Structure 1
Amino acid sequence: MISPMQFLVIGAGGLGCPALLGLQAGGARRITIVDDDHVDLSNLARQVLFSGADVGVSKVDAARQALLGRCRDSPPPAEITPLRRRLRADDLDGLLAELTAGSPRSWVVLECSDSPALKFAVHDACVRAGLRVVVGGVVGWHGQAMAVDPGQREAACYRCLFEAPPPPELAPACATVGVAGPVAGAVGHAMAGLAIGLAGPHALDRSPAGVCLHFDLLRGGVRRLAPTPRPSCVTCSTAIELHGGAPSPDHSPQDR
């Protein structure tokens, strides 16, 4: 049962919308959505929770109404909390502590924003707090989703595979490269599946922690990567020192 679990979805755009639908379809009933943006006409093609009537409405409010409308007759009742807020790296520790209220193992975070730097910052903050997190990104016809559980020392974290965000001048932006709607949908749903897998009462050998799924839908390819933890990983190594084996620390593509 995942219904007692709480899910925090950061970003309600091209990745966040299908991730929210996937969580709901998987039985999630307690979801908090964070985004500071409003629905724009250009969003409608791939941000599938929204319609023309939502243009100009806060994304978190429009997403909440869409999800509640879909599950109105499906018990138990959903608890969907909208949080209109722009996240910055230096806000994350306080926000996560406030939301999780000392119960990090009852939460799973889905990082669906369109900022590579924020993805790393959210990952690092979650690891510091002992929170399970799924990080996803999409650019063009490519995308990836990775599940991380700080409580599993034998599973790699996001920085074990991707050491640092690319410099801004080298990071392809969604606005210039574009995002293929089917890829955003596939990656968002994959993120929901990985998050539900992290939340479930599975044996450790069935957990998706440390798994990264890479999508190349233009060529019809999906690759499963399960790297071993990198000994020099600054996040994992610091976490072991601070938490006696439960990864945590250090600092540091959804489309809009």
Structure 2
Amino acid sequence: MNALEATAVLVAGIGAGGINAVVGSGTLITFPTLLALGFPPVTANVTNNIGLVPGSLAGAYGYRRELSGQRARLLRLAAASLTGALIGAALLLGLPDDAFGVIVPVLIAVALVLVVAQPRVNAWLAARRERHHPHGGPWLWAGILAAGVYGGYFGAAQGIILIALLGIFLDEDLQRNNAAKNVLSALVNGVAALVFVIVWLTGATDISWLAVLLIALGSTVGGLLGAKVGRRLPPAALRTVIVLVGLTAIANLVTN
């Protein structure tokens, strides 16, 4: 990786960290960047996942005030995220590489639809929200489990899925749900990353540690900035960038 390529990965990491803290689609920035630099899809996904963990933690830290009073709920939901992340990581490592190349374009397309539809989804949820179990009940737990599987396998727009689930089943404002989303996303990414590192030690998968370092540095800065100033960014402009980058990722996967 030359200096220009390293700079591109670092900048992508900053963007991904900021987007993850506010929206939850940062993978659609860093993953296509790694693909464009010639990384194989599975290697790019594993490398990207590990690199984004510090950014996820930074985003959760930035929303620490909104986490007040949510400890019991998060401990309950964390079990679902943990289980889902282990299943998703196992699927990524267990399925053939060719399967990843077929499945991920579909996941990215779904993620892009969710990014575009998020304002309408949020409005629909706000109009129909009813009081539920304080911790969301079994249906929320099952939904968080499924989101964890998705996140452990790929992760793009995992945050948007979590926000939608939390909005449906909890009587909380968006910022508190976003704080919970950041914690659960960080847990999924962290657990999946631990699995990937253990498997890497056995020689069964490849990781670009330079790219991990660059994404980690960038996403940490981006996560802190995103939590601080992300609410001031024009949502339409942010979604446009994400959609363009996501379409680029689909094109790279289909043509490679």
TM-score above 0.5:
no
Larger % of strand: which? 1
- Higher relative contact order at CA 8 Å, sep ≥6: structure 1 or structure 2? 2
Structure 1 length normalisation: TM-score? Answer: 0.28
